[in-house]
Amino acid sequence: MTYSDLNLNYNPFEDIVPSQDNLHWAGMKRQKEQIEQIYKEAFERRTRQIILNWGPWGGGKTFAAEYFTKMPKPTISSSEEKFISVIASAPQDGTDVIKSIIEKILATFSPEFLGKNIAEATTHLGKDLLLKKIYDRIQNYEIANVIVNLCDPNSLHGSSHYNAGNLLLKYFYNSFDKKQLSQLKINKPLKGNDDYLQFLAGVLIALTSTSLEKKIFLWIDEMEQLFYYTAKQYRAISQIIRDLTDKVNENFTVFLNLTLSENDINKINILLGSALISRINKDIRFRDLTIEDALIYCKDLINYASIEHLENPYYPLNENTLIELIKTLSKEKIIPREINKLCYGFINFLKEESIEAVSTDTIERYQKHLVNGN
């Protein structure tokens, strides 16, 4: 038997992140609507937003980050080019956490992208006005001047977008010797966390200053890593998020993905600190699913994978069997990741055993199959 014999193009419960060819949001309608509204609000105003997404492990937060950075953008705005989407995970090691998270963010931009967009901002505003705009926000003239000069389209090194962006990244990574710094008219290299933060803020400000005003959506995933940091380290990452949003200030939305149970809700204040908490515009709860929620989630995934749309929307399963299958999970495990694991194995079992009509007896057979390991 093949998947097509089960009216499927593929196993609907493949536990993969969405790709450009597989952008399927299932269930969790409320969370999707809330995030879509945040994106729409970003285009209705210039002010910054900080959003806290929290809930259980495997509850869909990372999937949401991947989905919204890859989805077709014109569903929210008229132009794909207005979006700059970034995903960066909190470092596993809290050592040098500020530079680590900045490196992760910068790593998502190619030299060509940096050089091209900052050159466009220079052409749009003029070199002096762009320099003033960056300086007014980051309060470091040297760094603002380097960002603008290295990507100046009228300079020799700025005439190539790739070369200009590459020089900008070399400046961040302190890859210039004294002679090169002198040739590029850079007085001193970046040194210390304040410089790194000001550099990143300056770059983000420049990227949003083109004639086609761009919006940056930064998703910081796996914020639960902070639980393994020292107090000094988790205060540092809280500070960088706070300071970065304050400096960039416009056209900037930050999503913080934090795995946390209801019982640990009070830890949010400890980890993020009152200064950052006070800046959060909205929190979105990725809750454990009810049986009804799980049914909708499964039905949506099956619908995407179905060859034909049948009267039974759960085929090759049925509603009663699916309910009983989901009930084999403990309450705290009725979450997307665990449902995917369970149903992925069950669908494959149907295919391998050539089972077309399922019942509660099929579930018992499957459970024995898992116990026996064959």
pLDDT at 277: 92
234, pLDDT greater than 70: yes
**Residues 117, 279, 49, 63, Cα dihedral to 10°:** 100
Mean pLDDT for the stretch of residues 230-243: 91
- Integer Cα distance of 256 and 134 in angstroms: 25
- Integer Cα distance of 258 and 50 in angstroms: 13
Task: Verify that 96 and 236 share a domain, yes or no.
Answer: yes
Task: Verify that 122 and 189 share a domain, yes or no.
Answer: yes
Following DSSP, what letter does each residue of 254-315 receive, concatenated? EEEEEE--GGGTTHHHHHHHHHHHTT--EEEE-PPPPHHHHHHHHHHHHHHHBSS--SSTTT
Using alpha carbons, select from 300, 283, 259, 297 the residue that is nearest to residue 34.
283
| Contact indicator for 212, 122 with CB cutoff of 8 Å | no
pLDDT at 369: 84
pLDDT at 370: 82
- Sequence-ordered list of residues with C-beta below 8 angstroms from that of 350, at least 6 positions apart, any chain: 1, 6, 316, 356, 358, 362
The distance of Cα 194 from the centroid of its chain, to the nearest Å, equals 25
Residue 279 tokens read as 């800046």
**pLDDT confidence band for 79 (50 / 70 / 90):** low
pLDDT per residue as tens digits for the range 253-294 = 999 999 987 777 778 888 888 899 999 999 999 988 999 999
Mean pLDDT for the stretch of residues 187-202: 95
Task: Verify that 162 and 298 share a domain, yes or no.
Answer: no
Strands 83-89 and 282-285: unpaired
Beta bridge partners, 50, equal: 254
78, pLDDT greater than 60: no
Structural domain for 61, as ranges: 29-109+212-285
- Integer Cα distance of 365 and 273 in angstroms: 51
pLDDT per residue as tens digits for the range 324-374 = 999 999 998 999 989 999 999 999 999 999 998 888 889 988 888 887 765
- Integer Cα distance of 302 and 316 in angstroms: 9
pLDDT at 270: 84
Residue that terminates a domain, selected from 251, 269, 285: 285
Task: Verify that 133 and 83 share a domain, yes or no.
Answer: no
Beta bridge partners, 220, equal: 88, 256
Task: Verify that 245 and 310 share a domain, yes or no.
Answer: no
Q: Tell me which residue has tokens 């990372």.
A: 62
Q: 47 φ, ψ to 5°?
A: -65, 155
In a domain, residue 179? The reply is yes
**pLDDT confidence band for 220 (50 / 70 / 90):** very high
Residue that terminates a domain, selected from 285, 312, 330: 285
In a domain, residue 71? The reply is yes
In a domain, residue 22? The reply is no
pLDDT at 264: 76
Q: Tell me which residue has tokens 């389209």.
A: 153
In a domain, residue 23? The reply is no
Within 10 A of 278 (CB to CB), how many other CB atoms are there? 10
- Report the b/e string of 295-325 with b at 16+ CB within 10 A: bebbbbbbeebbeeeeeebbbbbeeebbbeb
pTM of the complete model = 0.89
Task: Verify that 97 and 124 share a domain, yes or no.
Answer: no
- Integer Cα distance of 162 and 164 in angstroms: 5
Question: What is the 8-class DSSP label of residue 25?
Answer: -
| Contact indicator for 190, 114 with CB cutoff of 8 Å | no
In a domain, residue 38? The reply is yes
- Integer Cα distance of 182 and 202 in angstroms: 22
Task: Verify that 220 and 273 share a domain, yes or no.
Answer: yes
Task: Verify that 40 and 157 share a domain, yes or no.
Answer: no
Task: Verify that 67 and 185 share a domain, yes or no.
Answer: no
Task: Verify that 156 and 86 share a domain, yes or no.
Answer: no
Domain count, the chain: 3
- Integer Cα distance of 240 and 224 in angstroms: 16
Q: 218 φ, ψ to 5°?
A: -105, 120
Task: Verify that 252 and 339 share a domain, yes or no.
Answer: no
- Integer Cα distance of 319 and 294 in angstroms: 11
Q: What sign results for the dihedral spanned by CA atoms 350, 354, 359, 364?
A: negative
Question: What is the 8-class DSSP label of residue 18?
Answer: -
Residue that terminates a domain, selected from 285, 302, 327: 285
CATH number at residue 259: 3.40.50.300
Q: Tell me which residue has tokens 């008229």.
A: 78
Q: Tell me which residue has tokens 């089960």.
A: 6
Task: Verify that 185 and 243 share a domain, yes or no.
Answer: no
311, pLDDT greater than 70: yes
pLDDT per residue as tens digits for the range 101-114 = 999 999 999 999 99
